[in-house]
Amino acid sequence: MQSIYEYLTFTTKIEHDLEHDSKKSQLFSIPKIYIANGDLKKRWYVRFSFRNPETGKMTRMANIYGKVNNYKTKEARLAILTSYRKNLLKLLKLGFNPFEENSDLYHKLVNEEAQTKPKVESKDDSEKEDLNSVINQAVKNAIKDALADNVIVPKVNTEENNEKVFKDENTSSKKLNNEEHVKTKQYVQVRADDNGTVENTSEIVKNTAKSQHEDYVHESHVNERNEFLEIISIAKAFDLALELKSKEVSERTIRDYKSKSNRFVVWMQETYPEKKSIKDVTRKDLMAYLNDIALKTSARNRNNYRTELGSLFQVLKNNEVIEENYIPSIPVMKSKPERHKTYTLKVQESIFEYLIKEDPNLLLFIKFVAYNFIRPIEVCRLRIKDINLDTKTVQFKAKNSPLKTKIIPSILFDELPDLSKLDKESFLFTPNKIGAFWDANETNRRDHFSKRFRRVVKDHFKLNEDYGIYSFRHTFISKLYRKLREDSAPFEAKSNLMLITGHSSMSALEKYLREIDAELPEDYSNLFK
């Protein structure tokens, strides 16, 4: 029996010759193994390209998966894919052409195997069989399997007890007129005994029609899924991502995702109409689109598109619809931060006095922002049931928490009307009164009060775009912090303030206070003297 070294050098020489000849012919590329950087959660496969006789260009063929992804170790997968690659190289060398009918090649290989088919030997004779002949027989079986469907998918099973089963499916290739022949299955079982010798026995296994049908249905489903992933359009890919993402984020976030993804689809159709599949989208395309957004609107809006499109592309990558999400590699553009200025004490008091007569409901809305430090969109979410009249608390969905509870200070609680008789499911704030139903989403509800504030307050006091309802939150947090600092050290004051404002961490609060210039130093003129 030949040594393992002789066998390895023999097979290496064959593969080298095949690669050399294939380069010379230039009809096909050398098959490559894709291992997804060793990630067993992703699909591994063999890929290759073949020259299209119509265009004369190299065209990538369908990926060859086989059953390799059923294996859960890197060693097993790499061993199977190496076998697939070697078999594919040999087929291509023998003249296999995925653009043509290969029945002649198939019959040639069948006849060669029939002529060289070994006679049934006794156990003693089989123990002397050379290891290479057994492996070569398995390779022939794999080649016949591949020719059957013009796809290289050897049927190999590996068991823990060193028992290997090579499954030989004798099928004729699919002809151009869709004529198909009946499949037959032959199994060649190779078993290694305790002495390291090999026993080769052949038997015909009768398979029921049911098992054959199940195998066919399974392979059909796999092929259909692979074809779907190859040709899935950009719009359908985003629909899939949105459907999956809807289980994780709020309805408002999904609307933002959908709006931005729809604009990207339209832009791709107008700019690159030849690109139909989601896999055709490149990093260069994404860069061009984001730059277009920045030129037409602002850097901040461009960054928002980058974040939300990146989230959708990541969902597609996680579900193996695309191989790479390019957006994280695209840098964030520097932008001018949007800031709501704080009101002076004189302007704030003037606005409150003016609204007592002009719009008391809008004033109460603003006081929830000013005294309870609740963001405007969070105020729009409040329903009557969220107000606990016994404990004087309010519960709501906040920016940093799915359910936040805050006390309602007496300065605000005393101004609430009688809520006990109102429908618990009704909204606290609506366009015309306190406690009513309002058929509008939270974004439109917030926009209503923003426009109402512009019309009633900003136009009257001639305030520019730097001021809004959110400015009252900054104004009263600054006022409260400075009051706490009068009798407390900075850290103690911030600790007490954090309980009131609802910031999730001290660092978040400190950053917020710096942004609104809540803490200012005392007069330092004496230091220059």
- Whether the predicted pLDDT of 228 surpasses 60: no
Domain end call among 73, 89, 107? 107
Return the pLDDT at 317. 92
Same domain? 310 vs 356: no
Q: Is residue 145 part of a domain?
A: no
Section 374-392 average pLDDT: 93
For 287, residues 6+ apart whose C-beta sits below 8 A from its C-beta are 330
3-class DSSP assignment, residue 37 = helix
Answer left, alpha or beta for residue 28, where phi above 0 means left and psi between -120 and 50 means alpha.
beta
* Structure confidence by residue, pLDDT tens digits, 417-465: 999 999 999 999 999 999 999 998 888 999 999 999 999 999 999 998 8
Lowest mean pLDDT among 13-17, 75-79, 98-102, 279-283: 13-17
Same domain? 324 vs 240: yes
d(CA 526, CA 529): 5
Residue numbers of the domain that contains 273: 234-329
pLDDT-based confidence at residue 141 (cuts at 50, 70, 90)? low
Between 299-318 and 234-245, two packed helices, what is the crossing angle to 10 degrees? 90
Return the pLDDT at 7. 36
d(CA 444, CA 506): 33
Q: Is residue 481 part of a domain?
A: yes
Same domain? 459 vs 498: yes
Q: Is residue 7 part of a domain?
A: yes
Judge whether 240 and 228 are in contact, CB under 8 Å.
no
d(CA 2, CA 217): 43
Q: Is residue 165 part of a domain?
A: no
Same domain? 311 vs 239: yes
Q: Which long-range contacts (CB under 8 A, 24 or more apart) does 105-113 make?
A: 105/147, 106/144, 106/147, 106/148, 106/172, 106/173, 109/140, 109/143, 109/144, 109/147, 110/144, 110/170, 112/140, 113/140, 113/144
Domain containing residue 266: CATH number: 1.10.150
Between strands 427-429 and 434-436, the pairing is antiparallel
Is the model more confident about 159 or about 512? 512
Is the model more confident about 204 or about 435? 435
Same domain? 296 vs 252: yes
- Whether the predicted pLDDT of 17 surpasses 70: no
Return the pLDDT at 379. 94
Between strands 393-398 and 401-407, the pairing is antiparallel
* Structure confidence by residue, pLDDT tens digits, 93-121: 888 888 887 777 777 777 776 666 555 44
For 451, residues 6+ apart whose C-beta sits below 8 A from its C-beta are none
Q: Is residue 225 part of a domain?
A: no
Domain containing residue 414: CATH number: 1.10.443.10
Is the model more confident about 2 or about 267? 267
Same domain? 387 vs 491: yes
Same domain? 353 vs 476: yes
pLDDT-based confidence at residue 474 (cuts at 50, 70, 90)? very high
Return the pLDDT at 499. 87
Return the pLDDT at 102. 76
Residue 118 parent element (H or E): none
Domain end call among 107, 132, 165? 107
- Whether the predicted pLDDT of 129 surpasses 70: no
Section 317-322 average pLDDT: 90
3-class DSSP assignment, residue 337 = coil
Same domain? 265 vs 407: no
Same domain? 325 vs 373: no
Domain end call among 82, 107, 132? 107
Q: Is residue 67 part of a domain?
A: yes
Mean pLDDT of the chain: 77
- Whether the predicted pLDDT of 387 surpasses 80: yes
Same domain? 360 vs 455: yes
**Residue 155, amino acid:** K
- Whether the predicted pLDDT of 322 surpasses 50: yes
Return the pLDDT at 382. 94
Same domain? 382 vs 510: yes
d(CA 430, CA 143): 73
Judge whether 440 and 448 are in contact, CB under 8 Å.
yes
Q: Tell me how many domains the chain contains.
A: 3
The HSE-up count of residue 179 (CA atoms within 13 Å, CB side) is 6
Return the pLDDT at 162. 36
Q: Is residue 198 part of a domain?
A: no
- Whether the predicted pLDDT of 39 surpasses 90: no
- Whether the predicted pLDDT of 161 surpasses 50: no
User: CA torsion, points 302, 303, 306, 310, in degrees to nearest 10?
Assistant: -160
User: CA torsion, points 281, 283, 288, 290, in degrees to nearest 10?
Assistant: 100
* Structure confidence by residue, pLDDT tens digits, 45-87: 999 998 988 888 888 888 888 888 988 888 888 888 888 888 8
d(CA 397, CA 374): 10
Same domain? 452 vs 502: yes
User: Which DSSP category does 233 fall into?
Assistant: B
* Structure confidence by residue, pLDDT tens digits, 334-367: 876 666 788 999 999 999 999 999 999 999 999 9
Q: Tokens in use for 147?
A: 């020719």
d(CA 518, CA 475): 9
- Whether the predicted pLDDT of 12 surpasses 50: no
Global pTM value: 0.48
Q: Is residue 79 part of a domain?
A: yes
- Whether the predicted pLDDT of 488 surpasses 80: yes
Sign of CA dihedral 351, 353, 355, 361: positive
